[in-house]
Structure 1
């Protein structure tokens, strides 16, 4: 991930509703969540949630799958991992034990 992509992703996550939507999608994993359900769970009207999800999509953090009339949103785990890797790229400087707790916390079987 380059600096421009990281800034775009961080800007997308730098808003309360978008951050909560992203976290909800991370919890959902590969199943994703329909747009209407995201809005319902976060107590947001659907058209506002749709705008927030488009910001996350443009930042490359989520993608969609259409199921008839339903649009299901899924987190892009590769982009998420790339963002984490970019943020941690220079963290250890010869002391990898400092980063180990963060790496373990961020590890998942997804």
Structure 2
């Protein structure tokens, strides 16, 4: 993952509504949730929800699958894992106490 890709994903999750949507989808797991169910459970107006889902899809945070007349949304778990790995990539590097020769980071 590039720095810019991580920044885009984090910026989209920096919106309170999008963060709530993403957390809701993560709870639902790999099966995903229909857009109507997201709208009902989070009480987000349809046009607003559509806007948030579009932005999240463009940032690769979610995957949208059309199933008949409804759209199912699910988290893009590989992208989330790559984002988390990017954030932890350099954990504890350069900040070891002077007398420590090994990296004792618990990340």
| TM range, smaller chain | 0.7 to 0.9
Aligned to 1:79: 79
Gapped regions of structure 2 (runs ≥ 5):
94-102
Q: Distance in 1 between matches of 2:92 and 2:33?
A: 36
Aligned to 1:4: 4
Q: Distance in 1 between matches of 2:7 and 2:42?
A: 25
Higher-Rg member (1/2): 2
Q: Distance in 1 between matches of 2:52 and 2:64?
A: 13
Aligned residues: 98
Aligned to 1:13: 13
Which has the larger helix fraction?
A: 1
Aligned to 2:98: none
Q: Distance in 1 between matches of 2:40 and 2:49?
A: 9
TM-score, structure 1 normalization: 0.85
Q: Distance in 2 between matches of 1:43 and 1:51?
A: 14
Q: Deviations along 1:51-95, whole A, 9 cap, x unmatched?
A: 101111000010111111100001000000000001111113322
Instruction: Note if 1:96 corresponds to 2:105.
Output: yes
RMSD: 0.9
- Moved segments of 4+, more than 6 Å: none
TM-score, structure 2 normalization: 0.88
